[in-house]
Structure 1
Amino acid sequence: MAWKNPWYDPHLEHHTPEGFKNPEPELRQKGDLKKWQKERKASGLPLPPEEGYPAFISRWCQPVDLTGSEDAVWWLGHAAIMLRLAGQYTLIDPALSPRVSPVSFYGPQRKTPAPLQIADLPSLSYVVISHSHYDHLDRPTIKQILRRFPQVEFIVPLGLAPWFKRMGARRVTQLDWWQTVQLDSITFQAVPARHWTMRTLWDRNRSLWCGWVIKQAKLNFWFSGDSGYSDSLLAIPERLGPFNLLALPVGAYAPKWFMQGQHMDPSQSVHLHQAAGCPLTIPVHWGVFELADESLDEPPWVLDQALRDAGLASAFFYPWKIGQRYLLKNLIQDLS
């Protein structure tokens, strides 16, 4: 018997009876994946960082500093973000394993060390997930979280709650695009993204993908998740802005003919940064896994060039080191 979407709403454009879809046209054609893999192998891509991996790690990685109790945000590498708000810790898309793959011996491997281990955390209240791909929903990391913090609340896109329940999670909230939940003093709202989901050969697009808007006191934070560019994303700052913190992807964009429907390039992220009013923006989705054709060290200089082309200063949109912390009390001061 064919699987039917139990959350299907015929009034929503991104719903289908079999799962979910992007409102935008699908850009990939049948056979494109094999074509890209063949071209990539023939060209020997991706190339290593220009100065080698050890030098890249030395330049771009640092241990996480958990001292103090002030509200803060950390970039943990790739798309992983950590927040400390009113003493409560939130992890977003924590992928801290040596590989992001259904198996431990094959698949994309970390090229830079994880700056944090779950055992390092003094507490953990919330885990937010953008979608089911292995570099965003990492089963070994989730298992570690559940062993150490069994009462943690997971906030996930529509369709992912059953996976977390099978993992033993006790508290799971799943949301559709534009839906909101308030937990303690923090509001979490799922927002659209242009992407897709798949963990096995049989579950393509059976769970939703999304970005998140997180609000608490003076913080208004848009984490875009994994997303290709679409003009429809401009509705997010129009409806939910002004934001004072963004996290936008700047990696896994090459080659554009293959990646553009699911990953932004730096120039597109700069356009969203500008449309959102140029708040402090963390470039994410780079620096850890070689998922596309660009080298690990390419996104920072491509981002710098995109900002120059747009006539923007880099003071509010610059590459962070993996593990870097920013104290949120500085947001108002720095943006004034």
Structure 2
Amino acid sequence: MSQLRTVQVLGGGAGSSARVSSLAAGLVARGVQVTVCAPAGSGRAHGLPATGARFVAVPRRSDPAAVAALRTACTGADIVHAHGLHAAVRAGLALSGQGIPLVVTWHTRAHAEGARGRLLRLLERRAARAAAVVLGTSWELVDRARRRGARDARLALAAIPTGRFRGTPDDGKTRAELGAVGRPLLVSVAQHGHDTLLDAARRWDALDPVPLLAVVGEGPRAGAVRRRIAAEGLPAVLAGGSDGIGDLLAAADIAVLSGRGEGGSLLAQEALRLGVPLVAARADGLPELAGDAAEFVPYGDAGALAGAVVRLLDDPGRRERLAESGRAKAASWPTEDEAIAHVLSVYDELAQPLTAGRA
């Protein structure tokens, strides 16, 4: 049988890009020919050149020129695998009429209301119905794909790419650089719903010592966080992009998630793996991910979020129990090898009729 040829399509999100780097390396090691299509610059940022995959820069837009470029890159593939909603919509357009099976992974759920919410639901339907198989990283996402008309929706075996950890960082140096010496360090990410996080930070300002909140993120949402921190003098700092999130978490006392969307599951997974106590809103399948290894509060409730963090800061024993539970939970997750083997089994199932014809 000839070599299986796959194209991985990314939208540029940090969490999905890290997982695709791991997937691409694993597939190449198993003899699969891999092409990764992503926005220019994202390949180097997430280590794609080191995977052995071919990288093709494709705009993240859905205009005719961008779709045509993606269509050209996918020509001759046995399987196209799109990661994220917008990548899935573009891939569906590019593959129209080509007869190439499309696999879509929903790593996280997008959130919007009003007119944007209606557009989001339309995009979800298009992505779900264009796919031969939708893989969701939580049962919540699997059920959502089924409601949107997916022919075949399954739970993905999701593992954290171990390459995201940089060994043992200098915790003292990290804390000193952030200005967190002699005070608790809290780490979060800029997400939809970040106002709840900053409302909670305003309440922590009354503590002694005052915790420092380090927020990881880039782009417009991070810009909004930065402006509010400056305008209100909040005890918080922006801490750059997601590439250094492992180092920050290794130095943190507590990880905090108030929002929804890209970046949340990545921070939660890495926090549990590193044994960092986690306080999170009940959103995006996080209760399913963490179980009793985290403290959960209602989404949008700044008082509950602030209170949960304060109680943990005052209870070292509870923090240690959460740390132990987090490490135990993470140890039960699939390995990278298992996650890659699962994806490859889906590819083989879909591509078998195609590759048999070329044998």
**TM-score category, normalised to shorter length:** 0.3 to 0.5
State the TM-score, normalizing by the size of structure 2.
Answer: 0.33
Greater Rg over alpha carbons, structure: 2
Q: Which has the higher helix share?
A: 2
State the TM-score, normalizing by the size of structure 1.
Answer: 0.34
